[in-house]
């Protein structure tokens, strides 16, 4: 028996005539709406290799649509189901202008709060609605957020290597390309180290077959002197960042900060896993090394807890996971008021649609610090016309209406998501004692 629509008494056997618009906005019922949402469509594609999930919110105004990104490489199909099976039916018939109302309604609709799957689904819709609103008004998205406060967003790129000399050479080469901020990842001999060739997420099956154990103690002994040596080799005319990727426990984290002080890092990212975030205050009070955290946060409350002190220096907001620009901009405003800077997440598993949306926030926020800037492979530019490319170490938003990035469905079909989805890559590492390593 089909479940009764929520618009009817679950004990009645008379189904409503057609789909019921649940909790309709009374102001829309009174005065109507210029346009209505007619469909929420999702598209899977992988032009860079990692899965992207694009959301397209369509309206009864032909040619007027908004694009969002709900890309979660670890749970792509689950996010797509939330969108297709739960969110889309709830949105059809609504006024796309009522972004805050829709965001709260979608949050409530799941009842049980949060989680990255819900976050990414809501994030995809939210960015699409902001894109739609700006397109309807004929303005670039940052104009809706108060306009520009900077000409470009400072960008950082990634380099990695087997030793300090190799890393330093790559840093200097990146500096030559105009980057003033460079993330450096050092391989730990015999370990699958995040962010280095073959380590971490690079090749999940190879990591699985290699069965190389992870040794946090080895990472703690090996990496700080490499970071310090890189600083000695490249000098102070470039900002150096490092991503610990949650590989240390609080005791090791405290020691790590002590050992990297002379590297004069711009920030050290994800020193702890979100589950250990309660230790950030003590670490932040004890060390001059700037701390960045947040790409794993799916609830703004995870940021507000750390901004109260503040116990961090940079908020690594991942716009899709946090639920879109609506919550992200609220965290950004709090960062501005608390003296914390933005360093939004943006590797290649965040599509150019989300990158452009994040850039609209960066360019219009006084809290902005630096933006992670993926270097996308050529097929990405074919699938996403308008993809923003870092120039001179900075990202400049398009001035076209909306976030300025489009989506070519035909091109997207030429880059299907590889099967099986590399969604299990973060579950493959075990510690030397055989326990699973928490990424
Ligand atoms: C970063 C991140 C990524 C994540 C990836 C997970 O700082 O760019 O740590 O590399 O690991 O986005 O899907
Ligand atoms: Mg990271």
Task: Determine the distance separating the centroid of ligand 2 and the alpha carbon of 150, expressed in angstroms.
Answer: 25
Q: Per residue in 311-349, pLDDT tens?
A: 999 999 999 999 999 999 999 999 999 999 999 999 999
370 belongs to a structural domain: yes
Looking at ligand 1, which atom is closest to the CA of residue 201?
11
So what's the pLDDT on residue 202? 56
SS3 97: coil
Q: Per residue in 68-87, pLDDT tens?
A: 999 999 999 999 999 999 99
The residues near 9 (Cβ < 8 Å, ≥ 6 apart) are none
So what's the pLDDT on residue 239? 98
**Residue 360: which domain range?**
144-400
Q: Which of 156, 245, 294, 350 to mutate to test the pocket of ligand 1 (most atoms within 8 A of CB)?
A: 245
At residue 199 the predicted structure's pLDDT band, cuts being 50, 70 and 90, is low
Is 266 among the catalytic positions? no
So what's the pLDDT on residue 298? 97
368 belongs to a structural domain: yes
Question: Is any ligand 1 atom within 6 A of the Cβ of residue 344?
Answer: no
Q: What is the mean pLDDT of the chain?
A: 92
Distance between CA 236 and CA 126 in Å, rounded? Answer: 40
67 belongs to a structural domain: no
So what's the pLDDT on residue 421? 66
Q: What is the bridge-based pairing of β-strands 371-372 and 153-161?
A: parallel
Question: Is any ligand 1 atom within 6 A of the Cβ of residue 245?
Answer: yes
CA distances from 181 to 147, 260, 303 (A): 25, 17, 24
So what's the pLDDT on residue 224? 98
So what's the pLDDT on residue 192? 79
User: With contact defined as beta carbons under 8 Å apart, do 376 and 424 qualify?
Assistant: no
418 belongs to a structural domain: no
Mean pLDDT lowest among 96-100, 123-127, 211-215, 348-352: 211-215
Which candidate, 70, 115, 109, places its Cα nearest to that of 87?
109
CATH number at residue 359: 3.20.20.120
Q: Catalytic residue among 245, 284, 298, 345, which?
A: 245
Q: Which tops the pLDDT comparison, 20 or 347?
A: 347
Distance between CA 248 and CA 342 in Å, rounded? Answer: 23
6 belongs to a structural domain: no
**Ligand number with the minimum distance to the CA of 269:** 2
Is 194 among the catalytic positions? yes
396 belongs to a structural domain: yes
Distance between CA 355 and CA 405 in Å, rounded? Answer: 9
At residue 8 the predicted structure's pLDDT band, cuts being 50, 70 and 90, is very low
Average pLDDT over residues 389-399: 96
State what percent of residues in the chain have pLDDT above 90: 83
At residue 389 the predicted structure's pLDDT band, cuts being 50, 70 and 90, is very high
**Ligand number with the minimum distance to the CA of 350:** 1
Partner residues linked to 243 by β-bridges: 269
So what's the pLDDT on residue 7? 38
At residue 425 the predicted structure's pLDDT band, cuts being 50, 70 and 90, is confident
Question: Is any ligand 1 atom within 6 A of the Cβ of residue 73?
Answer: yes
Mean pLDDT lowest among 93-102, 150-159, 416-425: 416-425
**Ligand number with the minimum distance to the CA of 293:** 2
Q: Does position 197 have pLDDT exceeding 80, yes or no?
A: no
Looking at ligand 1, which atom is closest to the CA of residue 183?
7
At residue 3 the predicted structure's pLDDT band, cuts being 50, 70 and 90, is very low
Q: Does position 130 have pLDDT exceeding 70, yes or no?
A: yes
Q: How many domains does the chain have?
A: 1
Distance between CA 262 and CA 187 in Å, rounded? Answer: 20
């Amino acid at each position: 028996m089909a479940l009764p629509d929520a618009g009817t008494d679950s004990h009645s056997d008379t189904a409503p005539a057609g789909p019921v618009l649940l909790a309709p906005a009374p102001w829309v019922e009174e005065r109507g709406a210029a346009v209505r949402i007619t469909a929420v469509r999702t598209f899977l594609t992988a032009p860079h290799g990692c899965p992207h999930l694009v959301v397209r919110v369509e309206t009864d105004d032909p040619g007027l649509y908004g694009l969002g990104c709900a890309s979660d490489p670890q749970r792509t199909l689950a996010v797509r189901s939330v969108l297709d099976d739960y969110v889309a039916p709830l949105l059809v018939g609504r006024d796309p202008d009522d972004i805050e109302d829709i965001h709260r309604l979608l949050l409530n609709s799941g009842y049980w709060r949060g989680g990255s799957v819900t976050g990414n689904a809501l994030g995809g819709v939210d960015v699409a609605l902001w894109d739609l609103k700006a397109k309807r008004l004929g303005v670039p998205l940052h104009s809706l957020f108060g306009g520009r406060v900077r000409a470009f967003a400072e960008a950082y790129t990634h380099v990695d290597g087997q030793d300090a000399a190799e890393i330093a050479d790559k840093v200097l080469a990146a500096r030559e390309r105009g980057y003033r901020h460079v993330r450096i990842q050092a391989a730990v001999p015999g370990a699958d180290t995040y962010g280095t060739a073959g380590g971490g997420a690079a090749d999940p099956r190879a990591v699985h077959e290699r069965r190389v154990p992870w040794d946090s103690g080895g990472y703690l002994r090996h990496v700080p002197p490499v970071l310090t040596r890189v600083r000695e080799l490249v000098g102070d005319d470039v900002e150096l960042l490092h991503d610990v990727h949650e590989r240390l426990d609080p005791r090791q984290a405290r020691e790590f900060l002590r050992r990297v002080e002379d590297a004069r890092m711009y920030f050290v990212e994800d020193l702890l896993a979100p589950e250990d975030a309660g230790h950030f205050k003590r670490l932040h009070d004890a060390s001059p090394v700037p701390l960045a955290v947040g790409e794993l946060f799916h609830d703004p409350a995870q940021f507000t807890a750390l901004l109260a002190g503040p116990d961090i220096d940079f908020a690594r907001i991942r716009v899709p996971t946090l639920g879109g620009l609506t919550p992200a901009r609220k965290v950004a405003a709090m960062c501005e008021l608390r003296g914390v800077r933005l360093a939004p997440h943006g590797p290649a598993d965040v599509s150019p649609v989300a990158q452009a949306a994040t850039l609209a926030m960066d360019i219009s926020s006084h809290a902005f610090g630096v933006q992670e800037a993926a270097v996308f492979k050529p097929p990405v530019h074919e699938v996403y016309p308008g993809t923003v490319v870092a120039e001179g170490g900075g990202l400049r938003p398009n001035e076209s209406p909306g976030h300025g990035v489009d989506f070519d469905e035909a091109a997207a079909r030429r880059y299907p998501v590889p099967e099986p989805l590399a969604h299990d890559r973060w579950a493959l590492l075990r510690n030397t004692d055989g326990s699973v390593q928490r990424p």
